[in-house]
Amino acid sequence: MADTANAGQPPLDDLMMAMDVVDTLRHDDALVQRELGKDTSDAALIARLREIYASQGISVPDHILEQGVSGLKQDRFVYAPPAAGFSRTLALAYIRRGVIAKFTGIALALIIAAVVGWQTLVVAPRERAAAALTQELTSGIPADVARLVAAINKVATDPAAKTQAATLAADADRALAAKDVTAARKAVADLAALETELNARYEVRIVSRPGTPTGVTRIPDVNQGTRNYYLVVEAIGPDGKALERTIVSEEDRKPKAVTIWAQRVPQSVFNRIRDDKAQDGIVQDAVLGTKVRGKLGIDWTMKVENGAITSW
């Protein structure tokens, strides 16, 4: 049975020798290109091969040389990779499964890290901020408004202060209804400033010390025929220290936080203080006004005019 199956096939030794012939031809590419370009290519190529093998002491029958030359022309004994296709792709993927698994694992780890990072650094803070904002609008700001209004009504002896507190509380309510947190926070800040102002206590004292003028004058740009008179003052608290006050200058209409400013007064008051200081260099009657707890305004002990300046 085996002899029948192999009857049409060359012996293994002949096949191996034919493969060696083809290999020899491929290694001598110049020989192949030269001889195949001639009309007597096969004969010349076989003659050249016979010489090569004879020089190596190898006797190769002509039919083996002919098989080698024929095999070279037919691209026999050459490995041809399979054509591209789905099956080939699967086979290559299986062969490279270790590398693919490694890079797949890295990619998966990066994706997981990105998702966790997004949740931790973006989503979670955003959710916490949203929750905090909701809490502020629903309970934080309403509680602050109620506390401040109660404190203001308790300390205020000035009806205008209570009216102002009620107005600010209404502003806060409207802002909360509109979920306008910026406006609601401003209303709370204004209420806190109002409470602070009501609780403030100080004396407005005329400055009388070397290096600082006690009074200044100005000729306003809008009326060159007149002159304004100012006394330089500061707010002194119960502890004897100057307090910072926000003063709106009538020269530029800009508010400025200062510890010393010049309050506008009538010429008669200005002249009286000037004469007082001229006697011994010290202003004896130095208290221009008093701010008591519970009131917004200053109780002036001398006559003053509306207006102040913050630089001279």
**What sign for the dihedral angle of Cα 304, 307, 311, 312?**
negative
More confident call, 226 vs 14: 226
Q: Do residue 207 and residue 190 come from a single domain?
A: no
The vertex-171 CA angle with 142 and 197, nearest 5°, equals 85
Q: Do residue 134 and residue 223 come from a single domain?
A: no
Q: Do residue 107 and residue 193 come from a single domain?
A: yes
Q: Do residue 299 and residue 246 come from a single domain?
A: yes
Q: Do residue 243 and residue 300 come from a single domain?
A: yes
H-helix segments, 119-258? 124-135, 141-155, 159-177, 181-199
pLDDT per residue over 69-108, tens digit each? 776 666 554 555 666 677 777 777 778 888 888 888 898 8
Q: Do residue 179 and residue 208 come from a single domain?
A: no
Residue 220 lies in a domain: yes
Residue 84 lies in a domain: no
Strands 255-258 and 287-291: unpaired
Residue 87 lies in a domain: no
User: Of 73, 107, 130, which closes a domain?
Assistant: 73
Could you give the percent of the chain with pLDDT greater than 70? 82
- Whether 61 has a pLDDT exceeding 90, the answer reads no
Residue 222 lies in a domain: yes
Report d(CA 93, CA 85) in Å as an integer: 12
Give the count of domains, the chain: 3
User: What is the average pLDDT across 148-170?
Assistant: 96
Q: Do residue 154 and residue 190 come from a single domain?
A: yes
Q: Do residue 21 and residue 36 come from a single domain?
A: yes
Report d(CA 242, CA 232) in Å as an integer: 13
Residue 268 lies in a domain: yes
pLDDT per residue over 244-298, tens digit each? 999 999 998 999 999 999 999 999 999 999 999 999 889 999 999 999 999 999 9
Q: Do residue 273 and residue 209 come from a single domain?
A: yes
- Say which range, 70-74, 144-148, 181-185, 274-278, has the weakest mean pLDDT: 70-74
Report d(CA 185, CA 175) in Å as an integer: 9
Residue 107 lies in a domain: yes
What range does the domain containing 49 cover? Answer: 2-73
Task: For tokens 């008051």, name the residue.
Answer: 269
Strands 261-265 and 308-309: antiparallel
Residue 10 lies in a domain: yes
Q: Do residue 172 and residue 211 come from a single domain?
A: no
Residue 83 lies in a domain: no
